[in-house]
Amino acid sequence: MNDTTRKTAHRRQHPRQPGTPPRTRLFDDSRRMPRAVIKGQDSSRYRDVYHTVMTAPWWLFFLGVFGIFILVNVFFAALYLLDPHGIQNARPGSFWDAFLFSVQTIGSENGSMLAKSNYAYVIVTFEAFFAILNLAVVTGATFARFSKPYARIVFSKVAVIAPFDGAHTLMFRAANQRGNQILDASISVSFARQVTTLEGITMRRFEEIELVRSRTPLFGLSWTVMHKIDEKSPLYGYTHEQLEDMEFEIIVLLSGTDDTLADVIYARHSYTSDEIVTDRRFVDVISISASGRRIVDLSRFHDTEPLSLEPADASG
């Protein structure tokens, strides 16, 4: 990509025209699901309870648990009301007393109300059994959500296109916010664009981008990911307007084994034309302290500077 065809897509350089619909990106950020509305699904998705429990936000998860708790107690309270005199020290026919007795039974609490008829004892037996199952399921679901591994990887807000080692190079940065080591980390970058076939079919096409370094045995600080834009690059020769028309997107997928969790973690990100800057480079965020330890300054992680300044260390 030469000087006349390079992209100049920074928001301040190319503001979006008023009334232009926002570009739909494949990923909103590194932790959200792809933005898509799926229609025509069969009823099996409603039976995928475990996936729903694992993907729901925490507030919705606890709200759902509380809602089920209320509904279960309402159900058993209705069963207790079938025998108005089956609960000792409860007002006959009182739904509230029956509800409180159900809550007391599920919680294994000792209260003033007790079952006094055979029918009430049978319902108490079933409710106590359900309470054991409910406790096991809720505890397991909470632990599964809490222990689910996830990456705390931060990607630079922008990617830059600048000369590096004699060639125009697309670069962006990634950093591990936990500060520990990610073992055998690998990263893949794909170029997504909208194309129309000779038959007039419009489709989304993905093409993997070759990186200068796609793997690292230890990823603990900062990693500058680089792709040379040469004749073999899918970005080569396109003008900024052509890339805009194709609704292009740079999709990043990073994976590795967390040294602390001993489990595989994943992170994802994407860049559109509004997030790609030309003729700038990243500010160096790695320095050496007086004691000889490396320091990573994430407060300047997203900052760039003009190329006219002295070259910065881009190796990360």
Position 18 in a domain: no
Residues 158 and 137 in one domain: no
Residues 189 and 138 in one domain: no
What's the CATH code of the domain at 132? 1.10.287.70
Residues 131 and 100 in one domain: yes
pLDDT digits 0-9 by tens, 47-93: 778 888 888 899 999 999 999 999 999 999 999 999 988 898 889 88
Domain edge (last residue) among 147, 174, 203: 147
Residues 293 and 174 in one domain: yes
- 95-99, 169-173, 211-215, 312-316 — which is least confidently predicted? 312-316
More confidently predicted of 288 and 36: 288
At 102, the pLDDT band (50, 70, 90 cuts) reads very high
Residues 61 and 172 in one domain: no
pLDDT digits 0-9 by tens, 250-295: 999 999 999 888 889 999 999 988 888 888 889 888 888 788 787 7
Position 2 in a domain: no
At 5, the pLDDT band (50, 70, 90 cuts) reads very low
**Residue 270, token pair as written in the block:** 């994407």
Determine the angle formed by the axes of helices 58-81 and 95-106, rounding to 10 degrees: 120
Determine the pLDDT at residue 49: 83
Determine the pLDDT at residue 212: 92
86-99: buried (b, 16+ CB within 10 Å) or exposed (e) per residue?
Answer: bbeebeeebeebbb
Position 91 in a domain: yes
As a whole-number percent, the residues of the chain with pLDDT over 90 amount to: 35
Position 185 in a domain: yes
Residue 119: half-sphere exposure toward Cβ, Cα within 13 Å? 11
Report which of 122, 203, 216 is spatially closest to residue 176, judged by C-alpha positions: 216
Cα separation, 77 vs 103, whole angstroms:
9
Residues 159 and 143 in one domain: no
Domain edge (last residue) among 119, 147, 175: 147
Position 25 in a domain: no
At 233, the pLDDT band (50, 70, 90 cuts) reads confident
Residues 110 and 166 in one domain: no
Residues 181 and 292 in one domain: yes
Please name the residue that has the structure tokens 């932790």: 31
What's the CATH code of the domain at 284? 2.60.40.1400
Residues 179 and 287 in one domain: yes
Cα separation, 237 vs 227, whole angstroms:
15
- Average the pLDDT over 18-35 and give the result: 48
Determine the pLDDT at residue 123: 93
Residue 41 has pLDDT above 90, yes or no: no
Residues 237 and 260 in one domain: yes
Determine the pLDDT at residue 90: 87
Residues 162 and 269 in one domain: yes
Residue 211 has pLDDT above 80, yes or no: yes
Domain edge (last residue) among 126, 147, 168: 147
More confidently predicted of 196 and 161: 161
**Residue 120 is part of which domain span?**
43-147
Position 274 in a domain: yes
Domains held by the chain: number: 2
Determine the pLDDT at residue 35: 57
Cα separation, 188 vs 243, whole angstroms:
21
Residues 195 and 122 in one domain: no
- Tell me the CA distances in angstroms from 194 to 38, 204, 241, one per residue in order: 19, 5, 13
Residue 316 has pLDDT above 70, yes or no: no
At 107, the pLDDT band (50, 70, 90 cuts) reads confident
